[in-house]
Amino acid sequence: MMRTDGHLLDSSQSQKQTQTQKQAQNPTGEIGAGRRFDALAALFDPTTFRHLERLGIGPGRRCWEVGAYGTSVLTWLAKKVGPTGRVLVTDTDTSRAATVARPPVEVRRHDVGTEPSPAESFDLVHARHVLVHVPDPARALQSMVKALRPGGHLLVEDTDPALQPLLCPDEHGPAQELANRLRKAFRALLAERGADLSYGRTLPRLMREAGLRQVEADVHFPLASPACAELETATVQEVRAHLVAAGLATDEEIDRHLMNVAAGELDLASAPMISAWGRKA
């Protein structure tokens, strides 16, 4: 599954490597992760920023950004809170976030799924594409709620691939059929590794159960965006060896699919992202 450091398929925590080791062993993997981060930002940043605006993020606010997979949200938050505010960014891999680690942004190594929440309170806690990949998401959610000050808001955003499982919702030809067959194979690979493909839809209920009030949610479903094609290409290139090894696809099928994507004639969709937010009493 995808970790918050960008790698889609992961083994156990005991097999973690340093960033230098990973780059030495798989230099193209880091490039692919960067392409995927950029595509995710293009697809989902406008939705995230719209919700953050609604929650009243402004000068002097204290924010905890859980997951340092990219820098666009961090940069946006830093501008909003200004020099009197604070943005704490945490992850198990902080190499990308380190590039923007200057006031009001602080970058800190932290595992939200296993470690206690920071010993401070926040006006906002935000996590995007994080909890679905945490071994114990319930514990992580409780940790984030605990870190909120009274009246503070939690915004969690995660995809729900099972809600709309197709890569090409308009399946009208062989290229679209192949795309959807490979998407099904990829979902099978994720499910085999323990990913909850229906997690996103549970967020409103889980937030209420965690004690939050005024819980709401909506769904963003990108379709026919150039960023969908960029995301698909980067994803397939990273997981192709796993798909072939598992007997879920052949190299010929994957090459043909990547050519179809590059031709720009497929109306590709991303998995829907569910944004859920609530307020601490």
Instruction: Establish if 83 belongs to a structural domain.
Output: yes
Residue 181 is assigned to a structural domain of this protein: no
Residue in this structure with the two tokens 């380190």, named with its chain if needed: 98
Cα 277 to Cα 55: distance, rounded to the nearest angstrom: 9
pLDDT (tens digit, 0 to 9) for every residue of the chain, 281 residues total? 444 444 566 543 333 333 333 433 444 456 667 899 999 999 999 999 999 999 999 999 999 999 987 899 999 999 999 999 999 999 999 999 999 999 999 999 999 999 999 999 999 999 999 998 888 999 999 999 999 999 999 999 999 999 999 999 999 999 999 999 999 999 999 999 888 999 999 999 999 999 999 999 999 999 999 999 999 999 999 999 999 999 999 999 999 999 999 999 999 999 999 999 999 99
Rg (CA), the chain: 19
| 128 occurs within a structural domain | yes
Cα–Cα distance, 147 to 88 (Å, whole number): 12
Query: How far apart are alpha carbons 93 and 13 in whole angstroms?
Result: 12
Number of domains in the chain: 1
Do the domain assignments include residue 211? yes
CATH code of 56's domain = 3.40.50.150
On whether residue 65 sits in a domain, the answer given is yes
Is residue 21 in a domain?
no
The continuous run of DSSP H or E covering 191 comes out as helix 174-192
Give domain status of residue 172, yes or no: no
Q: Is residue 176 part of a domain?
A: no
Which residue range forms the structural domain that includes residue 71? 30-166+194-223+270-279
* Cβ-contact 258, 159 below 8 angstroms: no
